[in-house]
Amino acid sequence: MACAASTEPAGRFDLDAPWQLDAQVRVRPEAFGALLYHFGTRQLSFLKSPALLAVVRSLGAQPSARAACTAAGIQAEDLMRYELALQTLAASRMICKRGTA
C-alpha cells in the first residue's frame, strides 16, 4: 500500500508522529548504511550511516520518529541531522505517516 501524496506542507518533519517505511520500498544494507529503492516511483535513496538505517528500520515499531531515534541511540545534539534526513525521505515518499496510507 503506497503512501498518500505528501500530507505535510513543505516544512518541518513531524518527529512526534508515527511513521513507517512505504510498503513499496525495499532496503539493502551496505557498509556505508543502506540503499533504498521505491518500486512505485523507481527512485533510489541512500542512507548514509548505519545509525540512520537503524532508525528507519524501527520506525514502524515505534510510537513516533523521535522514539525511533532514541531507540537507535541517537544523541540529542544529533537529532536535528536525523530529522533532516527523515524529512528528505518523507519528501521522496520512502517513508510515510502511519494511518495515512
Alpha carbon separation from 41 to 18, 37, 47 (Å, rounded) = 22, 9, 17
For position 23 contacting another protein by CB under 8 A, the verdict is no
**Alpha carbons 48 and 58: distance in angstroms, whole number:** 16
Query: Which of 46, 60, 63, 84: binder of another protein (CB under 8 A)?
Result: 46
Q: Which is nearer to another protein, 51 or 67 (CB)?
A: 51
For position 80 contacting another protein by CB under 8 A, the verdict is no
Burial classification of residue 49, based on how many CB atoms lie within 10 Å of its CB (0-12 exposed, 13-18 middle, 19 or more buried)? middle
For position 70 contacting another protein by CB under 8 A, the verdict is no
For position 49 contacting another protein by CB under 8 A, the verdict is yes
Report how many residues bind another protein under the rule CB under 8 A. 21
For position 91 contacting another protein by CB under 8 A, the verdict is no
Choose among 99, 101, 94, 73: nearest CA to 21.
94
Binding region for another protein (CB under 8 A): 26, 28-33, 35, 37, 39-40, 42, 44, 46, 48-51, 75, 77-78
